[in-house]
Chain A
Amino acid sequence: MTKKLLLPPLLLTVILLLLWEGSVHFWEIEEWILPAPSAIWETFLQHFPTLSADLMATTWIALLGFLFGILIGILFATILHLFPVLEKACYPLIVLSQNIPIIALAPLLVLWFGFGTLPKVLIVVLVCFFPITIATLDGFRQIDHTLIQYLRIAGASRWQIFLKAEWPAALPSFFSGCKLSATYSVMGAVISEWLGAEKGLGLMMQTAANSFRTDRVFVAIAIIVMLSLTLFFLIHLFEKAIIRWKPKKGA
């Protein structure tokens, strides 16, 4: 099943890479404009050992921000759901908060909190909490209403209804939100490092671009993509371990 799903995108990737490689050689494109995949691979092998510190720094910020993003996402969703008045008041503001470009907000955070880890993690939290809050809130609404009616007749309290019906019903949506946030978290971490960092993939990317080391920029991109995919896959595994009650598709 998964093998069949993986094959088409893998095949396409290989074809695209071959086309890229061929084009670079055919039109003799300069390496500082667009390096061939093979050249990028060579740079990758050469530099990867020295990149571990950058990788660790970015991963740390992404993970820390992601975890706090999840916590805040759940907290917001729960509070807004349990107090509909608050939801009416806050929902538009939360959506609005996402319309502020992170690139504009980031320098302000540095201004307020300095160049340390805090403003970087804050940026990641800001991009991560939103998909989780919105998806989880949506999940709360998707519950089969007869389940709530059953619990009410059985004498359940508001909190029991939340814990035993609404929260488990929202779990699949919550995980969808987490998957989105997982990929955003790495992006957020990289952007945060552009503002000033001592190490990190974002910093490495910027210095590489400034010195026309396009091959290294691509190495950074490749690592960022892999990091995002790894996080995404981890969430997927968590989801599979926790949500066992849904019939497998096609079964």
Chain B
Amino acid sequence: MKLSCNQLSFRYKTEKVIEGLTIHVNDGEFVSLIGPSGSGKSTLFYLIGGLYQPDEGEIYLDQQKINGKRGLVSYMPQTFSLFPWRTVKENISLGQEIEKRRNPQEIDQLLEKAGLADFANHFPYELSGGMQQRIAFLRALASKKNLLCLDEPFGSLDALTRTEMQRWLFSILTKEKRTVLFITHSVEEAILLSDRIYVLSSKPMRVKAEQTVPFSREERWEKRETSDFLQLRKQIEEMLYTKSR
């Protein structure tokens, strides 16, 4: 098991944001967290990222307790959060710089693999939203941490760019084997990309249901119009919108 969160609780001031949350992610697995916006999903990433300490519960990464430890996971924030004064290449190298292991070749290869080599020396303001998002994702990949935490990466993109980005992400992840924890509020996106889905409640955030995606990674895209797919989608939507007791 790559990551496991046991009975996590966290309160912000007096408000309970997360309560008794238990999830796990296996090595190489793509797991989505789906829940209403404002339900505290980003807060969970801050806990995993070590920005905050949970009030109760433990977080384990590779069997090591990582409560409050920073610098162990790759993180892609909801906003692009690219550094405006750094070129594309410099942005992607950021992780390496922090870890003090520079390897420009590795960055070049990554850009090549992602088909973005032509943009290496551009500044973020010169790029479209979808392009900035790709760079933010490559930056997370380049930091070489095995667990990628992606916080609703496509939330701010238009529908067309979003579909394009989902396919792109998918193709990159087949080349670069990583374990992914993915936040989204699109059910379709969750089914298309993940192996397993946690449906979460809001305020406080708990696991409402867990759903394994029955389609293999390769067949999901062809199946997106089939009744099996649509039924699964409906089923998850119902779980999402029914009030928990």
Contact = CB atoms under 8 A, between A and B. Distances in A.
Interface of A: 144, 146-147, 149-156, 160, 164-165, 168-169, 171, 243-247
A168 B51 contact: no
Interface string B17-53: 0000000000000000000000000000110011100
Interface string B135-174: 0000000010000000000000000000000000000000
A62 B125 CA distance: 38
Contacts of B86: 245
A144 B79 CA distance: 11
B98 A160 contact: yes
A156 B98 CA distance: 6
Interface in B73-100: 73, 75, 77, 79, 81, 83-86, 94-95, 97-99
Contact of B51 (A147, A149, A160, A247): A149
B123 interface: yes
A150 B125 contact: no
A220 B194 CA distance: 75
Given A153-B70, A154-B94, A246-B125, A147 B75 contact: no
Contacts of B213: none
Nearest to A150: B81
Contacts of A153: 45-46, 49-51, 70-71, 73, 75
How would you classify the secondary structure of chain B's contact residues: helix, strand, loop or mixed?
loop
Q: Which 9 pairs, one residue from A and one from B, show the smallest C-beta to C-beta distance?
A: A155-B71, A153-B49, A168-B85, A245-B85, A153-B75, A146-B81, A247-B125, A245-B123, A155-B70
B72 interface: yes
A154 B143 contact: yes
17 contacts: A144-B81, A146-B77, A146-B79, A147-B83, A149-B51, A149-B81, A150-B77, A153-B49, A153-B75, A154-B75, A154-B94, A155-B72, A155-B99, A245-B86, A245-B125, A246-B84, A247-B125
A200 B9 CA distance: 71
Contacts of B46: 149, 153
A179 to B, nearest CB: 19
B21 to A, nearest CB: 19
A155 B71 CA distance: 3
Given A150-B75, A164-B98, 16 more contacts: A147-B81, A149-B51, A150-B77, A151-B94, A151-B98, A152-B49, A153-B46, A153-B50, A153-B73, A153-B75, A155-B99, A160-B97, A164-B94, A245-B125, A246-B125, A247-B126
B139 to A, nearest CB: 9
Interface residues of B, number: 27
Contacts of B124: 245
Nearest to B97: A164
Nearest to A148: B81
Contacts of A146: 77, 79, 81
B180 to A, nearest CB: 16
Nearest to B49: A153
For B86, B94, B124, the residue with the greatest tally of chain A CB atoms inside 10 Å of its CB is B94
A129 to B, nearest CB: 25
A146 B123 CA distance: 18
Contact of B77 (A149, A164, A243, A247): A149
Contacts of A246: 84, 125
A154 B125 contact: no
A246 B85 CA distance: 8
Nearest to B78: A146
Nearest to B69: A155
A78 B83 CA distance: 20
A33 B213 CA distance: 92
Interface in B175-199: none
Contacts of B73: 153
A245 B84 contact: yes
Given A146-B77, A153-B70, A246-B125, A164 B83 contact: yes
A246 B124 CA distance: 9
Name the residue in B75, B98, B99, B125 with the highest tally of chain A Cβ atoms < 10 Å from its Cβ: B98
B77 A154 contact: no
A151 B99 CA distance: 11
Contact of B98 (A155, A171, A244): A155
Q: Which one of A152, A165, A246 has the highest number of Cβ atoms from chain B below 10 Å of its Cβ?
A: A152
Contacts of B50: 152-153
Contacts of A144: 81
Nearest to A151: B98
